[in-house]
């Protein structure tokens, strides 16, 4: 099983799931200062997270689609209206043609359906690829 980048961003009326971009650096720096992120590590970044570390992590998240990295394949969950990062989804290929999906959502956006929407969009995309025989 191979996972390649979605051909276009995944979206619904509230969120967009997309490849990490340099625009996500500021959000990663903010998340690195958040006590909740320090305790739950829903975004694997240093806490606190300086700009250089955040830039490096965005590059590593992007590289995960081209080669094996520590984090696997990362997709940013952003608000549909703002495109501001509010979460992240990680996909790691496992044995028996299976994939592990993990995610995290910013504390201010929890319990508002963000995780459900992101997992649903990514899950449908993954299952659609498997059903179509796409790599």
pLDDT in tens, 40-76: 777 888 888 999 999 999 999 999 998 888 888 999 9
Structure tokens at 77: 């969950």
pLDDT at res. 46: 86
The CA dihedral of 85, 100, 68, 80, to the nearest 10 degrees, is: -20
pLDDT at res. 38: 78
Q: CA-CA distance, 19 to 110, in Å (whole number)? A: 21
Whose CA is closest to 74, among 111, 113, 118?
Answer: 118
Residues 70 and 59 sit within 8 Å (Cβ to Cβ): no
pLDDT at res. 81: 96
pLDDT at res. 129: 59
Residues 85 and 24 sit within 8 Å (Cβ to Cβ): yes
Q: Spell out the domains of the chain, with CATH numbers in brackets.
A: 10-129 (3.40.630.30)
User: Which stretches of the chain drop beneath a pLDDT of 50?
Assistant: 130-131, 135
């Amino acid at each position: 099983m191979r996972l390649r980048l979605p051909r276009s961003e995944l979206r619904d009326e509230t969120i967009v799931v997309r490849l990490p971009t340099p625009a996500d650096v500021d959000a990663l720096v903010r998340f690195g200062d958040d006590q909740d992120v320090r305790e739950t590590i829903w975004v694997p970044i240093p806490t606190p997270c300086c700009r250089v570390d955040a830039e490096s992590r965005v590059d590593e998240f992007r590289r995960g689609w081209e080669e094996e990295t520590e984090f696997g394949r990362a997709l940013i969950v952003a608000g549909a209206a703002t495109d501001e990062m509010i979460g992240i989804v990680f996909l790691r290929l496992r044995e028996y043609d299976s994939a592990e999906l993990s995610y995290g959502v910013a504390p201010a956006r929890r319990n508002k359906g963000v995780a459900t929407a992101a997992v649903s969009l990514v899950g449908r995309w993954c299952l659609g690829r498997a059903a179509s025989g796409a790599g």
